[in-house]
Chains A and B, each alone.
Chain A
């Protein structure tokens, strides 16, 4: 179980994350939602140990992750929001690097990498440099690297970015099956339709604070709204999207 307690991150002049608390349970997919700049990625970076919190605590299986961050990272799989990859490596070489850094058995690593690349339709491009990959191909490599070591906790920050329809369907199913096998999945995304289909519960963030934290069904009942999109709009949208769209069209015509 991943537990976030009163997590806060301050930058000079900015409070990016303010007293955020939630729990992500094993066997469940927890959606982490919020508009741009709401503090989602900052929270994710703190959970993955990339950033130090200004205050608050992150616990995994009841122990603060900062007690032994290296050991915590051994059971963590992470797909970052931006496709950070080394462009001079091929897809297979990148996965090999990730496998070596995670100390996966050298005997089985090439077979595992080959199988993952095959399943993600990257086998033909396995020796091409990442710099020549499309956005979707890079995203697939990031997903492979995140699950290569069979992690217990999986943090996905916009994992559907750039994926084609088939790959998106595969990933959606993969997320469900990972959770079904008892893993804890934290899923941060803007794509509310996918979140609605995949997540058991959602945490909605607005201006660095949690404004909703419950199962989607309970939120629907409680707010008397039929879809997650409408719930989200009700909680975090401050201006009328249609009116803004009209104004944009006017500016373009000028």
Chain B
């Protein structure tokens, strides 16, 4: 017997509202937290990105920067069409992967909703609707300006209101289909993993699949060669790229909808439609089927005692001596510092949320590196001196940028709690004395950011560069890393992962600008100065002296700042509306 439609509609509406909020983990929020401010800031960021893209794209068609020939405008239009489509696809991909854990019900959902008189198809439909709404909003935000301006500019030869309406409709239809394709494809990936892997194995590998997919999306977006060009389309050596890269399929679809008669483009358009159909089939056949089963398996798994495989930071039957425990013993002599170090290592090893956050920051670094590498690869001819210089500078900047983003990523992840209610242990034991918390945080950054980057980069540079240049670069990398770590820990007064998170406290727009500015400084200024320094030993010596001095000053400042901090913070507080100058009581 099925439920009355009115009841199901009511349940559906209640569940859509619930799931829309459940995409964000609110367990970690400070009691003063305001999730809506965080969401509006994210939406504003995406819209701002769209505005910048519209401002970069639009003027060239009006001849504001330079007069382009008809052929150049045609090529620019194709490149812009593909760029806008692939950017939307990449953002939907990243957004879907960000919501990876929310695609299926978690234990809380299963325990609460499982005991309610709600049919699983209703839960499933509500979840899918909430997901579609969230992704739809992201797609609209990221195309909010480009979607209003570009359709009327990027189609060569369009004239009249009818053409404008057709191009506008085609643009949004293609963006929608491309976004749906990426979304369904990733749903299918998760569904396939759920069907193929035993539940326990899936739970362990899920975050690895998520991280791998995240890097795959970034790699595909940044390292795909720019082939949306009439000459490139005709070249036989590019056929494989067109066949394999989905953004070209949807570029072909846009071309077809805006009346291109090119057979190669029509073939790409067909591939796009087939891709959407196949992704829909795969998602329906795996995600939908896995949904009900996953609800049961999640509850069943909760009844089985969890265990960790004996690995990095794992619990072993013979006690506390694990590889990570042994490293912590080597690094920290004081018991409180060692305890915090072990806690940090185990949290990073076992918390999906923190690993994903690190992957996002590493991905941001990689994205910038990839974009630079792609620029050098695809925009300079091999014989060009600028290309050789550009490649050298890019190669030099790669570890610096990755190190910078790893340090920032780790520092940000320290601010996201693992289980706020469990922080009473640290509150009671007070690891503030002697700065154990700060030493442990510093050593974590050294071990998880500086050490791996140096360990990977050193043999590569030693193999491809003359060893004095490679050693010089490595020495600078270490000095730069030490300085960045000290700067990242300035004013840090928390045991990592124990303080509640207050969304909206850090202004995302300002932080984004700061990171972007620092990124440009690191990638351009620092590598430029270092490159010049490596050619002249005296300049290099000065560079090293200044960097090391800056590090010593930053370390000293951190020591003094620690003395002024009254107590460790476990509950993030909002900034006061009025700031006192602290003059009262001074004579």
By a beta-carbon cutoff of 8 Å, the part of chain A in contact with chain B is 11, 14, 16, 41-42, 45, 48-52, 68, 70-71, 73-74, 76, 78, 80, 82, 84-88, 97-98, 100-103, 129, 131-132
Contacts and interface: CB of A to CB of B under 8 A. Distances in A.
Contacts of B111: 50, 80, 82, 84
A88 B304 CA distance: 28
B303 A41 contact: yes
B119 A88 contact: no
A49 B1 CA distance: 17
B108 A73 contact: no
Dominant secondary structure of chain A at its interface with chain B: mixed
A87 B29 CA distance: 10
**9 closest A-B pairs (Cβ-Cβ)?**
A88-B26, A73-B117, A100-B14, A74-B117, A84-B111, A103-B7, A50-B114, A78-B115, A101-B116
A86 B11 contact: no
A29 B226 CA distance: 73
B469 interface: no
B122 to A, nearest CB: 9
Interface in B97-146: 107-108, 110-119
B21 A50 contact: no
B355 interface: no
Given A52-B296, A71-B1, A100-B14, A42 B115 contact: no
B486 to A, nearest CB: 35
B443 interface: no
Contact of A103 (B1, B11, B27, B296): B11
Given A50-B114, A85-B112, A131-B26, 13 more contacts: A41-B303, A50-B110, A51-B303, A73-B118, A84-B108, A84-B111, A86-B18, A86-B22, A88-B21, A88-B22, A88-B29, A97-B14, A101-B116
A19 B338 CA distance: 49
Contact of B115 (A80, A85, A103): A80
Interface of B: 1, 3, 6-7, 10-11, 13-15, 18, 21-22, 26-27, 29, 31, 35, 107-108, 110-119, 296, 299-300, 303-304
A84 B116 CA distance: 13
Contacts of B296: 51-52
20 contacts: A41-B303, A48-B115, A49-B115, A51-B303, A52-B296, A70-B3, A71-B1, A86-B22, A86-B108, A86-B112, A87-B27, A88-B22, A98-B116, A100-B10, A100-B14, A101-B116, A103-B10, A129-B26, A131-B29, A132-B31
Contacts of B31: 129, 131-132
A74 B116 CA distance: 7
A52 B7 CA distance: 25
B11 A100 contact: yes
Contacts of A49: 114-115
Given A68-B1, A101-B11, A131-B27, A11 B303 contact: yes
A101 B118 contact: yes
Given A52-B296, A68-B1, A76 B115 contact: yes
Contact of B299 (A14, A16, A50, A97): A50
A101 B14 contact: yes
Contacts of A82: 111
Contacts of B7: 103
Given A51-B299, A87-B26, A88-B26, A97 B118 contact: no
B197 to A, nearest CB: 14
Contacts of A50: 110-111, 114-115, 299
Contacts of A48: 114-115
A16 B303 contact: yes
A126 to B, nearest CB: 16
A11 B300 contact: yes
A248 B11 CA distance: 51
B394 to A, nearest CB: 44
Dominant secondary structure of chain B at its interface with chain A: helix
Contacts of B10: 100, 103
Contacts of B18: 86, 97
A131 B31 CA distance: 8
A68 B22 CA distance: 29
A54 to B, nearest CB: 10
A85 B27 CA distance: 11
Contacts of A132: 31
B83 to A, nearest CB: 37
A78 B304 CA distance: 21
Contacts of B304: 11, 14
Q: Which of A76, A85, A101, A102 has the most CB of B within 10 A?
A: A101
A49 B299 CA distance: 11
Nearest to B116: A101
A227 B120 CA distance: 45
Contacts of B27: 87, 131
B108 A101 contact: no
A145 to B, nearest CB: 9
A245 B118 CA distance: 47
B1 to A, nearest CB: 6
A74 B4 CA distance: 13
Nearest to A45: B299
Contacts of A76: 115
Contacts of B119: 70
Contacts of B113: 101
Nearest to A84: B111
Contacts of A74: 117
B29 to A, nearest CB: 7
A206 to B, nearest CB: 17
A68 B119 CA distance: 10
A73 B115 CA distance: 6
A107 to B, nearest CB: 13
A132 B299 CA distance: 26
B14 A70 contact: no
Contacts of B116: 73, 98, 101-102
A48 B304 CA distance: 18
B200 to A, nearest CB: 9
Contacts of A70: 3, 117-119
A51 B3 CA distance: 22
A11 B108 CA distance: 21
A100 B116 CA distance: 10
B575 to A, nearest CB: 21
A84 B107 contact: yes
A184 B7 CA distance: 26
A92 to B, nearest CB: 14
B33 to A, nearest CB: 9
Nearest to B24: A88
Nearest to B8: A103
Nearest to B123: A101
B251 to A, nearest CB: 40
Contacts of B117: 70-71, 73-74, 101-103
